[in-house]
Amino acid sequence: MSSDNNNKLSFATRSVHAGYDSADNEGSLNPPIYMTSTFAFDSVEQGAGRFSGEQQGHFYSRISNPTQEILETRLANLEEGEAALATASGMGAITATLWTLVGPGDQILVDETLYGCTFSFMEHGLKKFGVDICYADFTNHAEVQSKLTDKTKVVYFETPVNPNMRVIDIAAISALAKDYSGDIKVIVDNTYCTPALQRPITMGADLVVHSATKYLGGHGDLIAGAVVGDAETIQQIRLFGLKDMTGAVIAPMTVFLILRGIKTLQLRMERHYQNAQAIAEMLEQHPAVDQVFFPGLKNDPWHTVAAKQMDGFGGMIALELKGGHEAAVRTLNKLKLAKLAVSLGDAETLIQHPASMTHSVYTAEERAEHGISEGLVRISAGLEAVEDIIADLEQALAD
């Protein structure tokens, strides 16, 4: 399938076909899995050309692999970027990218709330190597503008934010960064939405990172990550951040599973969103619930921004119970259908307590400072019948 034809097709069709032609693979409907660590050359000259980058082709699966190339082509197509790099985990994608883009004395301007391991890598990792991590409330554009400096190399944020569901205006933040300096790289973690619901590169971001473990894989049976952006930067990340710094190499079988998951991505995201909307509306009216954070609710403070930049409000919900931490623990321990587990984007509804689980790497003081309360509960709405999910939540919330 030519790239010209690909660009004319719908998202759902490209999710199934982009980057792969069965005619080039013995008619195999599904991409072959190249389970090889190395590749043989026809000559020394060919090997030298591939190592130098002067000739196209694979030479070692730590750098690239034919199965992996199909996934990377498909992800770049769906995110509307030039190129992509698949990695062994979402943190592999994030760390390989940031090791490539920053060094001692550089600054990363980052939103005040992050996934726990991203925060830990920046705060407890990069800082040790002389990188300045500067926090700002990215929903406050004046504050962001005031903290940009000549040392700012990267502007980094998630949207919606994990775990408290704040929504950041991608176009506005990207414009602020680019107006200050065209050399700043704007990176958006698009794990919560996937390109089925949000495409940050089309709104001015330079790079998009994913935990492909979540919605891209979609079935809770793999660990993987990806970064998408311009071809030059992705090649730099591949040859330095991945090859030399992290070694976060994805396995061909994992690639195959992600490709299988992406075929149903749009269908699944629609169901996740529909279920999340119904769950959020129920929780909003429940007497035991103090506040619900879901951008699909009309009175959510981020509804207008989300409606502008998202094609649906996603499958993630956060809430505060009136009894705080004790009520959260009591409720989660009473669940019967929904699974008490970290991660998200699976077929099963997953519920967790960020302060004691995914964001426990923050100290209590850091959680308070970064907007993660002790009583916050995070829900990943699954694909079950929504009435069954709601019934389980109602019985857990009952006194």
Give yes or no: 115 in active site: yes
Q: Are 225 and 115 in contact (CB under 8 A)?
A: no
Does the annotation mark 127 as catalytic? no
- Looking at residue 251, the DSSP 8-state letter turns out to be P
Whether residue 20 lies in the annotated active site: no
On whether the CB atoms of residues 370 and 135 are closer than 8 A, the answer is: yes
Q: How far is CA 176 from CA 107, 134, 138, 142, 329, in A?
A: 16, 16, 11, 9, 41
Rounded Cα distance, 174 and 214, in Å: 25
**Closest to 77 measured CA to CA, from 185, 21, 3:** 3
Q: Which is catalytic among the residues 34, 60, 62, 137?
A: 62
For every residue of 72-83, DSSP letters joined together read HHHHHHHHT-SE
- Give yes or no: 215 in active site: no
The answer to whether the peptide bond before residue 354 is cis (omega within 30 degrees of 0) is no
5: alpha, beta or left, given left = phi > 0 and alpha = psi -120 to 50?
alpha
CB atoms within 10 A of CB 124: 11
Q: Which amino acid belongs to residue 174?
A: S
The DSSP output letter for 143 is H
Distance between alpha carbon 9 and the CA centroid of its chain, in Å? 24
* Catalytic hit among 14, 74, 153, 214: 214
- Which is catalytic among the residues 169, 189, 206, 392? 189
Backbone φ and ψ of 45, nearest 5°: -65, -40
Catalytic residue among 14, 20, 111, 115: 115
The amino acid at 279: I
Collapse the DSSP code of 317 into the 3-class scheme (helix H, G, I; strand E, B; otherwise coil) and give the result: strand
Structure tokens at 251: 């396995």
Q: In angstroms, what CA-CA distances link 68 with 168, 253, 290?
A: 31, 9, 45
Burial class from Cβ neighbours inside 10 Å (0-12, 13-18, 19+) for residue 357 reads middle
Active site positions, annotated: 62, 115, 189, 214
